[in-house]
Structure 1
Amino acid sequence: MTDIEKGPYHDGLPAHDEHVVAADKLRRALSPRQVQMIAIGGTIGTGLFLGTGKALATGGPASLLICYAIVGGIVFVTMMALGEMAAYVPVAGSFCSYAGRYVDDSFGFALTWNYWFNDAVSTAADLVALQLIMEYWTTTFPWYALGLIVWALIVAANIINVRAYGELEYWLCLLKVVTIIVFIILSICVNAGANTDHRYIGGHNWHIPGAPFVGGIGGFASVFVTASFAYGGTESIAITAGETRDPARQLPRVVKNVFWRILLFYILSALMIGLNVAYNTPGLNSKATRTSPFTIAFQMAGSHVAGSFINAVILTSIVSAGNHALFAGSRLLYTLGINGHAPKAFTRLTRFQVPWVAVLFTSAISGILFGLSFVGAGQLWTWLQNIVGVSNQLSWICIGIASLRFRAGLKAQGKEHLLPFKNWTYPVGPIVAVVLNSFIVLVQGWSCFSPSFSAVDFVSYYIELPIFALMIVVWKLIKRTKFQRASEMDLVTDVYTIEDIEPEEKGWKGRGKKLGTWFCF
């Protein structure tokens, strides 16, 4: 019986298989402390702090709460499915690699390029949001200059080494988590009467003219893409699997915390925003400006200084989200190069094993998109948000499909008992994620048809669908890829060599076998 047949942690050590060749050369330097905090707050940023304002204005408080709850449910079952696969095969590129491994190489090709573009656009969207938030203080200063400075800083953080990225994200995420907790507590007090008007608000804002549903079915449907943008990136924590110490143990812990993260940070925040902030508050949804409902809530507490403080904190969260998006995008571009889906130049590493060419190229695309803000930061941010939201939904659909195929392969090859973490929502969870996401993708652009057709909005909602399908077809025709049969799937675990481990890890627990390779199941 081989070590792999014995299980993922035979004799307390990572499993070993001499036939597996090391492919992932990224350094596993992200500590459990960093991974846990990145998972909790890494992707919280523009979508929650700024997107909730737009969602409230276009859909009303009820649409905001219901849509964020529905999308939160989708994200939860998607993360359960992804965690199962990432614990078994923790590779850089994660779910994009799984799509090619368990479905079809053309499917993985299209998904990886789609998600890479998603991250590049997300970084640009965060830089644009930076301008919108800064306009809280003044509209006369050229805030795009600050955006360029921040862009340079996050590029530097991502290119130095993965530890620099991890440590920056840790402290920025911690600040975001504390801020949201304070916001929820403050919002309860404001709603109860501790506000500038000294009155009990209760559910008043749900009963003003036009509320609780604003804009009818079109307004309700449009909130889905905003919610998907806000939750977007939750799945990208699995991309850190290629640079996480002991990912088979750490990633299941991360996934198990997703439910509480969704409930506390997203749904409770959406509820309190809908209760305290009226949907027709000036500045929530404008082509020129945006005002965060978080900032409005702190102003309602009676202190302009508090409003300025929370606005400053939101700025740091935007920097954090942009930092995380650039990290994920560069690792996906690295994966594209490894898999032969992009030029090999993107696989070049620094001496700290950071894919520097991938970082620079991804950041350059983000910089170009950021430069388009001359059309109006508010309008550009809306278009970028739509593109990213749809891209996230496509990714969740693909994760669900990959999960179903992954389990089919395990069953066909008799390896289900080797799973270090089991998705208890299978098969219902992945099926719900695929079906519900597909429906939402088709209906959420309702508002671009009514009351009049908007060609630009239509493109931002639907342009990714034909491009994604075309990429699958073209790559399949060019490479003549084959659908992966369950009995023939590559279900061998990830491998990395002893040189890829941090120096302090080489004597892990003092029990290292003198083998040429170390494995993480």
Structure 2
Amino acid sequence: MSSLEKNEESLNSQHIGSIETNEMSKWQKFKDSFKRADIPDNHIVESSNNSILQNTNNSDNHDLELQDKYSTNEEEPSGELHRELKNKHIQMIALGGSVGTGLLIGSGGSLRTGGPASLIIAWGLVGTMVYCTIMALGELCVAFPVNGAFSQYGSRFVDESWGFAVGWNYAIMWLIVLPLELVAAAMCISYWNNDINPASWVAIFYVLIMIINLFGVKGYGEAEYYLTIFKIIAIIGFIILGVVLVVGGGPKKEFIGAKNWHIDKAPFPNGFKGLATTFVTASYSMAGSEMCGIAASEAKNPAKTLPKAVRQVFWRIFLFFFLSLTMIGLLVPYNSPDLLGSGYVSSSPFVIAIKDAGIYALPSIFNACILISVVSVGNSAVYGCSRTVQSLGQQGLGPSILAYVDVKGRPLAGLALSAVFGLLCFLAAYKDQSTVFAWLLSVSGLATIFSWFNICLCHLRFRMAMSKQNRSLKELSFTSKLGIYGSIYSMGFLILVLGVQFWVALFPLGSNGKANAENFFKNYLGSVVILIFYLGHKIYSKDWKIYKNLDQIDLDSGRRQVDLEVIQSELEEERLLAKNKPMYIRIWNYWC
């Protein structure tokens, strides 16, 4: 062999070796991405405010370990969730977080039991409560953009036992919602093909949702961004179509107007109890509105993105719920036999309205939109649960393994827990699946109401602590326009909803005044569960103090270190510039 051939052979072997090394390197990087991220010793940076040091002996010690100790311009420290959610992601999460099966499917049952007027009254009033709650959440999250916002706020501003109970109740809700939404997705597919075993479709959607969340927070944000765009287009399209059909512009050329409001027993077919039942459903349908608070800790700049996002709750309530349900009340009679269907799709009032109008292709298109919404809710369930569980583990309110975060910023233990509970979706092949899921859902049926109540309670306690400790609201870059009065209103409203739920759960429609124990526990078991969590933690911790003293509440740890003077000057400059613009532009910039 000549020297030239030897050299070529040597170069080829080196090239092949480099390729193998590169391939091994990629595989090794993939494996290493799942390793636990190291938290450096200097990760915790104490605030210059001496009040933090004064609180080291109280029950807030764990909060010091959870400080967000970096400015918005620094990179994420290892061992933490990564801040990769952009402005567009936060806007879409806030805008479409609650648009799912509750609105697109559950509203059909409310129309049947409450009538068309109940839809507008219930969703309208519940919407005002949600708006007040999310404004309070925005103030808290901009000030304290910490992991698992709700449970941490409960532990910080009220009591650790309360934070433990609310946090785990919220996590369990999403653990159960995931398999329910997967089964709903399979039922959406059955609209086109009923011959295939639903477990096959469930498996496909299960794998899809878990893969999306394995791409980390950026994967979740991108998925929600595009899924929400589809939902927005679908709802706006339906509202426009609804207006056309009501005035007689459909294929049947029939003027509908308010005809369905004048049929027998309408607009309140079951009187006040029917309306009361609708209030409960309306509250459940807006679950997910608080998801922007969970995402705050992974937003690049929550001080700028969150205020605008929480203001968009107004449009979501007005556009998605109020206008669309007004069209549903006009287009679909409350006594439509299709509303009695047991399937997810057959009982969707949106699909029924389109079918009744004589439009044949569009029902399938809107069914596809419902399918997208179901996948979106399932995706949010994994995200919300994994972040809440990671926070509980980090606070010491759960097994320490749950705090596991890998080098890519993924809470792997939380994702694994969601994946395990998600396997319940294969009960779709069980003949008595509806009974099983009804009891599963009852465990966390009131979780959203307790979470919203917790947000408002924490906001009230936060403001009271600020006043007690002689701290100025000028320290905050964003404050709720409704102040503590919005939180007090929401807390009162939620207590009313819980009372109404107790009544309709114990004495449901058609019971003729007789108590129904089975129905009561199916609809009110969630309150028993959160009470067990609360008392269980009290017994374990042996701390029977109901709430912390206002002067002991830590108002510093968890704050991102920002220059308040710079932020205030920027906001003032923006206000001065806005004054020189026309009124319609100022309104648009504020709300949109």
Local SS of the residue matching 2:161: helix
Amino acid at match of 2:129: I
2:220 aligned with 1:156: no
Moved more, 43-52 or 99-108: 43-52
Would the aligned equivalents of 2:243 and 2:327 in 1 still touch at CA under 8 Å? yes
Kindly report which structure 2 residues correspond to 1:252-291, keeping only aligned pairs within 5 A, or say none: 252-288=307-343, 290-291=346-347
Indicate the residue corresponding to 2:466 in structure 1: 410
Alignment-derived partner of residue 391 in structure 2: 335
**CA shift for structure 1 position 82:** 0.8
| Mapped partners of 1:78, 1:250: distance in 2 | 18
Quote the residue 1:361 is aligned against: 417
Give how far 1:118 is off: 1.3
Specify the alignment match of 1:500 in structure 2. Answer: none
Q: Tell me the TM-score normalized by structure 2.
A: 0.77
Alignment partner of 1:480 is 2:534: no
Give the letter for the 2:537 counterpart: W
Aligned residue for 2:166?
111
Instruction: Report the alpha carbon displacement of residue 298 of structure 1 after superposing the two structures with TM.
Output: 2.6
Q: In 1, distance between residues paired with 2:49 and 2:79?
A: 19
Opposite residue 145 of structure 2, the aligned amino acid is: P
1:293 aligns with 2:344: no
Greater mean alpha carbon deviation, residues 423-432 or residues 327-336: 423-432
CA deviations 1:141-175 (Å, max 9, x no partner) are 32232122111211111122211111111100111
Task: Rate the CA distance shift 1:152–1:237 in 2: closer, same or farther, 3 A.
Answer: same
Deviates more, 1:446-455 or 1:339-348: 446-455
Q: 1:491 maps to what in 2?
A: 555
Deviation at 1:446? 3.7
Aligned to 1:350: 406
Corresponding residue to 1:85 among 133, 140, 143: 140
Query: How far apart in 2 are the matches of 1:133 and 1:57?
Result: 21
CA deviations on 1:419-459 (whole Å, 9 max, x unpaired) are 11111212221111111111111212544424334433211
- Equivalent position of 1:422 in the other structure: 479
Give, as a single letter, the amino acid of the residue that structure 2 aligns with 1:36.
Answer: Q
Q: 2:124 aligns with which of 69, 73, 83?
A: 69
Q: 1:379 to 1:265 in 2, by over 3 A?
A: farther
**Aligned position for 2:520:** 458
* Residue 225 (structure 1) shift: 2.3
2:488 to 414, 425, 431: 431
Q: 1:288 to 1:262 in 2, by over 3 A?
A: closer
Counterpart of 1:165?
A: 220
**Using the alignment, how far apart are the partners of 1:171 and 1:396 within structure 2?**
27
Q: Find the aligned partners of 1:258 and 1:23 in 2 and give their Cα distance.
A: 33
Is the CA contact 2:98–2:289 (under 8 Å) kept in the aligned structure 1?
A: yes
Q: For 2:257, which of 163, 185, 202 is the aligned residue?
A: 202
Q: Deviations over 1:288-323 (max 9, x none)?
A: 554211112232443221110110111011101110
Secondary structure in 2 matching 1:253: helix
When residues 68 and 288 of structure 1 are mapped into structure 2, their CA distance, relative to the original with a 3 A threshold, is same
* 1:397 lines up with 2:453 in the alignment: yes
Q: Which amino acid aligns with 1:480?
A: K
Distance, in Å, in 2 between the alignment partners of 1:377 and 1:129 is 12
Quote the Cα distance in structure 2 between the aligned partners of 1:143 and 1:224.
32
Q: How does 1:121-270 map to 2 (within 5 A)?
A: 121-270=176-325
Deviation at 1:386, TM superposition (A): 6.1
What residue number does 2:369 align with?
313
> Which digits, 9 at most, give the CA deviation of each residue in 1:19-78, with x for residues without a partner?
xx9897100011111111111113311111111111111211111111111111110000
Structure 1 Cα separation of the partners of residues 440 and 485 of structure 2: 32
1:512 maps to which residue? none
Q: Matches of 2:231 and 2:419 in 1, distance apart?
A: 24
1:314-345 alpha-carbon deviations (Å, 9 max, x no partner): 10111011101210111000011001111111
Match of 1:467 in 2: 529
Percent sequence identity over matched residues?
Answer: 35
Counterpart Cα distance in 1 of 2:426 and 2:480: 39
Q: What is the SS of the residue equivalent to 1:494?
A: coil
Measure the CA separation in 1 of the matches of 2:454 and 2:503: 23
Give, in whole Å, the separation in 2 of the partners of 1:434 and 1:335: 25
Q: One-letter code of the match for 1:477?
A: I
Q: Does 1:326 align with 2:385?
A: no
> Is this contact kept in 1: 2:183–2:425, CA < 8 A?
no
Residues 283 and 449 of structure 2 are in contact (CA less than 8 Å); yes or no, is this contact kept in structure 1? yes
Contact 1:29 1:245 in 2 (8 A): yes
Deviation at 1:414, TM superposition (A): 2.4
Which amino acid in the other structure matches residue 175 of structure 1?
Answer: F
Shift of residue 402, structure 1, vs aligned partner: 0.9
- Between Structure 1 and Structure 2, whose CA radius of gyration is higher? 2
8 Å contact 1:226–1:385 — kept in the other structure?
A: no
Cα distance, 1:304–1:16 mapped onto 2, change above 3 Å: closer
Q: Which residue of 1 aligns with 2:95?
A: 40
Q: Deviations over 1:86-123 (max 9, x none)?
A: 11001111122111100001110000001001111222
Query: In 2, distance between residues paired with 1:99 and 1:186?
Result: 44
Q: What whole-Å deviation, never above 9, does each CA across 1:161-200 have from its counterpart, x for those lacking one?
A: 2111111111001110111010100000011112343211
* 150-159 or 81-90, which deviates more: 150-159
Report the 3-state secondary structure (helix = DSSP H, G, I; strand = E; otherwise coil) of the residue aligned with 2:196: coil
Following superposition, the deviation at residue 284 of structure 1 comes to 1.9
Q: Distance in 2 between matches of 1:456 and 1:79?
A: 34
- Give yes or no for contact 1:82–1:95 (8 Å, CA) kept in 2: no
- Mapped partners of 1:358, 1:144: distance in 2: 24
Larger RCO (alpha carbons 8 Å, 6+ apart): 1
Helix, strand or coil at the partner of 1:213: coil
Letter aligned with residue 526 of structure 2: E
Distance 1:496 1:446 in 2: 45
Code of the aligned partner of 1:265:
F
Size of the aligned set, in residue pairs, is: 485
When normalised by structure 1's length, the TM-score is: 0.87
Equivalent position amino acid for 1:50 in 2:
I
Change (3 A) 1:343 1:27: same
Other structure's SS at 1:27 match: coil
**Which residue is 1:504 aligned to?**
none
Residues 1:124 and 1:15: Cα distance change in structure 2 (over 3 Å):
closer
Q: Is the 8 A contact 2:166 2:451 kept in 1?
A: yes
Q: 1:204 to 1:281 in 2, by over 3 A?
A: same
Q: Letter of the 1:423 partner, please give it.
A: S
Change (3 A) 1:462 1:436: same
Given the alignment of the two structures, is residue 31 of structure 1 paired with residue 86 of structure 2, yes or no?
Answer: yes
Against the structure 1 CA distance between its residues 438 and 375, is the aligned structure 2 distance closer, same or farther, given a 3 Å change threshold?
farther
